[in-house]
Structure 1
């Protein structure tokens, strides 16, 4: 006959109190229900578990031997309840975020710091990758939240998308480049030598799509992984590039990079947070911080 957890918990309550009546109160059961559970448990074990006396009940040798297992079950259940409570209050847990490189470097740090201040017991696991890699990790269950800047339309089934801001791609040039002037027309970019991000980069996909739509052809010089490498290559005079405005504010202000105004529509893009349709509590908490940042303006 099968053993049932409820019967073992009732058995432990009776052993603790020495009384069926007290155990019934503790377990929110009727006394006949307690008696029935004890009878079924004894039948499953194959030995009597209690003997009755005027003050209540006393454990038999079989009951004494079974009691540690019933008590361990009670402790495990209480531990599980406490674990669930801690998770709900974010007193423990884990947050796995995968972010495309621009967002990881220029958007994520501030809300992540605020999150860690409020929930210091939550373990943070932050990975970076391009947009394609971020979406893949989310779909494979390796991340609770993905932050992307590339076009992923339509979004995969089972994924919830939330726009957390807007970004603009800027054409960057080394100072003194032939196109280093205040304003450029789209046609000025024809046959321009361009340094591209690696395939899968959201920045690259947006820029290539805009150039294609405008009927422009550029000359690829090389591909580099990461915006920092792109900026260094441009400053070294290897060519021009398209990067997020968020990533070049300091260099533009310092005069290390030129970035003319460009009459080429379509270089704006959404910054998007992706979660499963039922996100974890940790993901929801960080998403709230990202949306608050959106209200302030990225």
Structure 2
């Protein structure tokens, strides 16, 4: 026995109006189509549902018993339409983001603040992971948006990559370190004791690749999860480290960390947002905020850079 939703909705419309003509108008159908749907529904139920009388249509006992179910279907569909409309207008919904530690701390907060101001009813679910963890979460369908440090090349088909900014890796040292000079070359770094981020970190992968390409071998002394722990270890004199320029602006300005310029290519990297090819509306809206923030920062950088400002 197959009961079709459209037939039940037409039946409820006839019961509500008591007229085939009025039901046809409400359902945007022809009157013969309404009659056909009612016959098919009665056949599926196995009992007559309506009886004609001189004032219109009257429900049979079977029709009266079926009507609450048809009405519940109508309410459920109307609720689903309202839900979809609210989602499309971002009047409700959930946004799931997994961001690498650097982006979670130094890029995401301002974009989230702007997003929340525009869409306060959307629930935010924000998690941090290293770059590999963020990509895995996206591929597993556990997040709507992954923010990573690294190239914009999507990791697999069905994933869209957008560059949302740029970053530079900096070598950081305690201020009293012997290598605290204005500029260092590859030879200066040979055998340098280095504190590394955990395996899977985008920062670590880029730094290791740069050193490998330059033929530099460093001496790993410690592995820590998270940039804050790395910075504290360097300040304490445990070794040097490679971190995002975004993460050490305050410490460099305060003189807590030294960061000599390096004559090594490849230390610049993209900051990338990954979404499915067809992103959720919430992910698309946050991506717009991230791109707008990046554009504002680039414009401000050009205005404050004397070389670019002077042409």
TM range (shorter): over 0.9
Tell me the equivalent position of 1:109. 109
The runs of at least 4 consecutive aligned structure 1 residues that moved more than 2 Å come to 150-155
The unaligned stretches of length 5 or more in structure 2 are: 299-311
Tell me the equivalent position of 1:247. 247
- Any conservation in 2 of the 1:48–1:60 contact (CA below 8 Å)? yes
User: Deviation per CA, 1:224-260, whole angstroms, max 9, x where unpaired?
Assistant: 0000000000000001000000000000000000111
User: Deviation per CA, 1:46-80, whole angstroms, max 9, x where unpaired?
Assistant: 11111211111111111111100000010011111
- Any conservation in 1 of the 2:152–2:163 contact (CA below 8 Å)? no
Tell me the equivalent position of 2:21. 21
Question: 1:213: Cα distance to partner?
Answer: 0.5
Tell me the equivalent position of 1:121. 121
Using the alignment, how far apart are the partners of 1:219 and 1:43 within structure 2? 81
Alignment of 1:79-228 (within 5 A): 79-151=79-151, 153=153, 155-228=155-228
User: Which stretch of the first structure deviates more once superposed, 4-13 or 38-47?
Assistant: 38-47
Cα gap change, 1:153 to 1:77, in 2 (>3 Å) = closer
- Would you say 1:56 and 2:65 are equivalent positions? no
Using the alignment, how far apart are the partners of 1:136 and 1:35 within structure 2? 54
Tell me the equivalent position of 2:230. 230
Using the alignment, how far apart are the partners of 1:2 and 1:244 within structure 2? 62
Using the alignment, how far apart are the partners of 2:10 and 2:25 within structure 1? 11
SS of residue paired to 2:272: strand
Tell me the equivalent position of 1:4. 4
Using the alignment, how far apart are the partners of 1:39 and 1:152 within structure 2? 58
Aligned-residue Cα RMSD (Å) equals: 1.2
Name the count of aligned residue pairs: 298
- Any conservation in 2 of the 1:182–1:261 contact (CA below 8 Å)? yes
Alignment of 1:56-75 (within 5 A): 56-75=56-75
What TM-score comes out, normalization by structure 1 length?
Answer: 0.98
Question: 1:152: Cα distance to partner?
Answer: 7.4
What TM-score comes out, normalization by structure 2 length?
Answer: 0.94
Cα gap change, 1:154 to 1:146, in 2 (>3 Å) = closer
Tell me the equivalent position of 2:258. 258
Question: 1:155: Cα distance to partner?
Answer: 2.4
Question: 1:150: Cα distance to partner?
Answer: 3.0
SS of residue paired to 1:297: helix
Question: 1:151: Cα distance to partner?
Answer: 4.7
Using the alignment, how far apart are the partners of 1:130 and 1:192 within structure 2? 24
Question: 1:186: Cα distance to partner?
Answer: 2.0
The unaligned stretches of length 5 or more in structure 1 are: none
- Any conservation in 2 of the 1:151–1:202 contact (CA below 8 Å)? no
SS of residue paired to 1:273: strand
